[in-house]
Amino acid sequence: MSDWVRIYDTTLRDGCQAEGVAFSVDDKLRVAHRLDELGVAYIEGGWPNETNPRDREFFQRAKQDTWQTAKIAAFGSTRRGGIAPEDDTNLRELIASGAPVITIFGKSWDMHATDVLRVSLEENLAMIEDSVAFLKQNVEEVIFDGEHFFDGYRANPDYALKGLEAAVRGGADSVCLCDTNGGCLPWDITEICERVMGAIDVPLGIHCHNDSGTAVASSLAAVVSGCVQVQGTMNGYGERAGNADLCEVMPSLEVKMGKRCLPEGNLQRLRSASKYVSELANLPHDHRTPFVGDSAFAHKGGMHVNAVLKRADSFEHMDPELVGNERRILVSDVAGSSTVANKLQKLWPDLDRKDPLVKRVLDRMKELENEGYEFEAAEASFTLLAQELRGERPVPFTLHGYRIIGGKHEEGTDPFAEATVEIDIDGSRFHTAAKGTGPVNALDEALRKALVEKYPRVNELELMDYKVRVLEGTHGTATSVRVIIDTSDGEETWGTVGVHENIIEASWQALADSIAYGLQKKGCMEPK
């Protein structure tokens, strides 16, 4: 087996078929350049036909750019039945795209040829062969995707193979076996790939969808069986349940299977690339994703933390830095002294692990979590708690009171919210009022208005997310709620928490902590 596996990224085509994913042309170019920096071999930019002006523009602009490692690929289908390839509009558009690689798909399943395309089996094979031959006369590299290959092989193995052979006769540089319905399990992939390997004399690729939850495993099984190209998408984006997630495929190939798929050292860029794609797709980055998720190397249980701090491989399958991730030690009511000591030593590196502060923080944290507080997603609040128990918590302001008024003037108008805040800063009293889209927004605006004269950098802090969770369902509307607020200064995001029966008070607690932590982080605790 070859030591190199070529990564064929189809995020900009297959990934865009996912529900909720839509890239602008500028976004597609940004993603493509990030993938090029990562070092993938191919970037499939889309289907540049006459009904898709966005993809056509992408290819026109991509021709003017410089690409370091990746070849840009255009995607399309074989010619239509009953016409010559040179008369097929889609094939002409593929050539006009200027892409150095063209990938076309053809039907490998006899049922699709007769019942979907409604052409004879012989015509379908001719469509594959002469389409590839026509493209090969006009472009550097042609890849053939055998659509529905595995389903087609199980239904009629001889005919499925004939489709691949037709592509090879036409001059295809490689052929890719597609589990288009995502219904195969890894051992199905292995068995069929091994059979095909002996019958086809050009390099084989694999393209798996995730409808059975096994796209990554199936892709890796195909590599073991001899495939040297893996098609997939960043973060597994794709139609239905998605495609093989390249953020899982690539580290598995390089770290666990001894295969090279990226330039030396580039695997460390994987997590940042994964998050970048999520950001441009306007989707939250899944924190539970293997390898690149925030929780991929996060440890919470006290016994686990104690072990991993002594020896990382006791509870980690690999070094997180290999993919640009990091180990995280979570604080919670199941945390032990090792967890808390580790967190405190990040604040005070010289702190002895047997310092009484460790037990005070652990005991207080567990008391608060019993009341409903949660520090896993609110590490800024944990930092402030530890500083308070050590007698070092900064107090940028003291609250004297707040008031919120909300209402609606009449049916058909938007509701309104107004907040007043009275605080003390270094002996000076500030009393401000502000309007907002809701009570918490109004409270936030009024607090910032009160702070800005003494702490002008408060305007650099932005509330990014606000979450509310009802903690108990036994007291109706009088039950306690937990509020988590995420705040950012443009470089880092931190979480804070508040708990109370009154949602406004819970929000105030989280909001006040978020501002106090942000001002401390900015190094501007001394009022102006």
Nearest to 234 by CA among 222, 226, 242: 242
Query: Which pLDDT score is estimated for 1?
Result: 41
List the strands of the sheet with 493-500, edge to edge.
Answer: 462-470, 481-488, 493-500
pLDDT at 305: 66
Q: What pLDDT is attached to residue 334?
A: 52
> How is 350-399 classified by DSSP, letter by letter?
T--TT-HHHHHHHHHHHHHHHHT---TT-HHHHHHHHHHHTT----S-EE
Residues in the chain: 528
The one-letter amino acid at 457: R
CB-facing half-sphere around the CA of 4: CA atoms within 13 A: 9
Question: 251 φ, ψ to 5°?
Answer: -65, -30
Distance CA 402, CA 440 (A): 12
> Max alpha carbon distance in the chain (Å)?
89
Per DSSP, the residues of 512-524 read HHHHHHHHHHTT-
- Tokens at 463, concatenated: 């509330």
| Parallel/antiparallel/unpaired status of strands 204-208 and 42-46 | unpaired
Coil, helix or strand at residue 231: strand
Q: What is the pLDDT of residue 198?
A: 85
* Residue 362 pLDDT: 86
pLDDT of residue 332: 57
Catalogue all structural domains in the chain, each as residue range(s) with its CATH number.
6-280 (3.20.20.70), 298-371 (no CATH), 398-521 (3.30.160.270)
- Per-residue pLDDT in tens (0 to 9) along the chain, 528 residues: 458 999 999 999 999 988 888 888 988 998 999 999 999 999 999 999 878 889 999 999 999 999 999 999 999 999 998 899 999 999 999 999 999 999 999 999 888 888 988 989 899 899 999 999 999 999 999 999 999 999 999 999 999 999 999 999 999 999 999 999 999 999 999 999 999 998 999 999 999 999 999 999 999 999 999 999 999 999 999 999 999 999 999 999 999 999 999 999 999 999 989 988 988 887 888 889 999 988 787 777 667 666 766 777 777 788 888 898 887 766 655 556 767 887 888 889 998 888 999 889 888 988 888 888 888 778 899 999 999 999 998 889 999 999 999 888 888 888 889 999 999 998 899 999 999 888 999 999 999 999 999 999 999 999 888 888 888 654 444 478 889 898 988 888 888 999 998 999 999 999 999 999 999 987 766 665
pTM value is 0.70
Asked whether 216 and 252 are in contact (CB, 8 A), the reply is yes
